[in-house]
Amino acid sequence: MELRTLQYFVQTVASGTVTAAADHLHITQPGLSRQLRQLEQELGVELFHRTGGRLTPTRAGQALLPLAQEVLERADALRVAATYQAQGRLDRVTIGAPLTTLRDVVAPFIATLDADDPTPEVFQADGQTAAEVLGRGADLAVTSTPARAPYETRTLAVLPVWACVPATHRWAERKRIKLAELADVPLVLPPRSFTSRISLEAALRRDGLSYGAAVEAADGTVAQALAAAGRGVAVVSDDPQFDLCPLPIRTSDGDLSVRLVSAWDSRHPARAALADIADRLSQFVAARYS
């Protein structure tokens, strides 16, 4: 079984058709179809339902997809480690982080890097531990969960979770709100895997509270757009958008927040270079949010 064939499988699932996958992979459609059939023969299962030009993964295909992705990610990590051993420097660094953190923290940090720094690559990792993110092939994980040995960590920041309302809302002129007040108004929330929602629901459980009506948005940006449209109070950790008023949320344990840490494997051959990047990221966040 070749890594290239696994890549074909993963890309075909993402593309949905052989035509689109072949275009993305820069190979012929017959060649791709032949490789997929060969992979199915090697594995002894059908990976796709083939209907009207579309390919949708079978139950077996859905079960094997994350394993194939993990193999490809680990193979990529092996190449990075080998390059470091050969060149004595980190040529590329892969960072896994929640979507909001990628957009508001990691992407602005990447914009400050120069030509001598490793080439950054990123992927979205919501609601995952540092071990899970690093296990997917990241060199550096940004997460809200603590990490233990053999992982090393740096605290990045403690970021506020906001209740965002439009300027016309009755709360707009307030300095902050109490957590209990969220139980009495419609909310717009990001998915359960997002750190802001995890923090909110943990605080509610801790204080013996619950919220009522709520709309789940695709992410923090969409949640704020819905709040701007008057659909409810958006509870997010994203930077405020759409001219919304961000209000701190007071809980029994202080203002609601998300603690971010960066983590890497202490056994990584480029651990010193990763520690340096983590330190620089921490300094960047401190300067940006101070």
Same domain, 150 and 193: no
Residue 282 belongs to domain spanning: 91-155+260-289
85 domain-assigned: no
pLDDT tens digits, one per residue of 204-255: 999 899 888 899 998 889 999 999 999 999 999 888 999 999 999 999 888 9
CATH number reported for the structural domain that contains residue 9 in this entry: 1.10.10.10
Same domain, 175 and 121: no
Same domain, 189 and 247: yes
For 174-226, where are the E strands, in sequence order? Answer: 177-178, 187-189, 214-216
pLDDT tens digits, one per residue of 179-192: 999 988 999 999 98
Average pLDDT over residues 145-174: 90
Entry pTM:
0.61
Same domain, 136 and 280: yes
Same domain, 244 and 279: no
Average pLDDT over the chain, rounded to whole? Answer: 88
pLDDT tens digits, one per residue of 40-55: 999 999 999 888 778 8
Same domain, 148 and 172: no
Percentage of the chain lying above the pLDDT 90 cut: 43
Cα separation of 224 and 227, whole Å?
A: 5
Tally of structural domains, the chain: 3
75 domain-assigned: no
8 domain-assigned: yes
Same domain, 147 and 10: no
Using a 10 angstrom Cβ sphere, with 0-12 exposed, 13-18 middle and 19 or more buried, the burial of residue 256 is: buried
CATH number reported for the structural domain that contains residue 275 in this entry: 3.40.190.10
Same domain, 128 and 177: no
